[in-house]
Amino acid sequence: HKHTILFSACLLGRPVRYNGTDLLQQHPIIEQWRRQDYLISICPEVSGGLDTPRAAAEIQAGSGASVLAGSSRIMTHTGSDVTEAFIAGAEKTLAFAQQHHVVMAILTERSPSCGSQQIYNGQFNHSTTNERGVTAELLQQHQIKIFNQHQLVEAHDWHQQYLRNL
């Protein structure tokens, strides 16, 4: 078992965001994890079958938890229902994480898939709400510790503590 760390693929430089860009993070902690061979990455939305670029989508009046429970939908700003692709992507990400013995994930904040503390509110007006996205919720439900890209020091401390407690 490798005690692997899962990253949202866009944070490691893959241009898989809805608008075809990446969100590459460069940080000594990430370099250290890479040297120690802890890193794997996946894009839940691409894994769920969505194209890049793709229309921006937001959870409609709810959270990742309510989407997984079947009580909220995810719509694009052009009015397409993409709920099933987002759920499929979350499930594929969980399976990938479990296969690779992931203990912790660093996920892109504010994404309707990867957001762990904030997501957009569903009205496409750039306002956020304090909820998790679909993939972040599913990983958390399966005991994978979740951080965002602004919490690398905290995540590094958590991982060190985890290894010490083995």
Which residues contact ligand SF4 (rule: CB under 6 A)?
8-10, 16-17, 43-45, 108, 111, 113-114
CB 77 to ligand SF4: min, Å: 15
Which one, 72 or 149, has the nearer CB to ligand SF4?
Answer: 149
CB 25 to ligand SF4: min, Å: 11
Which one, 18 or 38, has the nearer CB to ligand SF4?
Answer: 18
Q: What angle do CA 42, 74, 138 make, to 5 degrees?
A: 45
CB 166 to ligand SF4: min, Å: 28
How far apart (Å, rounded) are the C-alpha atoms in residues 43 and 135?
A: 10
Which one, 72 or 135, has the nearer CB to ligand SF4?
Answer: 135
Which one, 80 or 160, has the nearer CB to ligand SF4?
Answer: 80
CB 104 to ligand SF4: min, Å: 16
CB 131 to ligand SF4: min, Å: 15
Which one, 17 or 132, has the nearer CB to ligand SF4?
Answer: 17
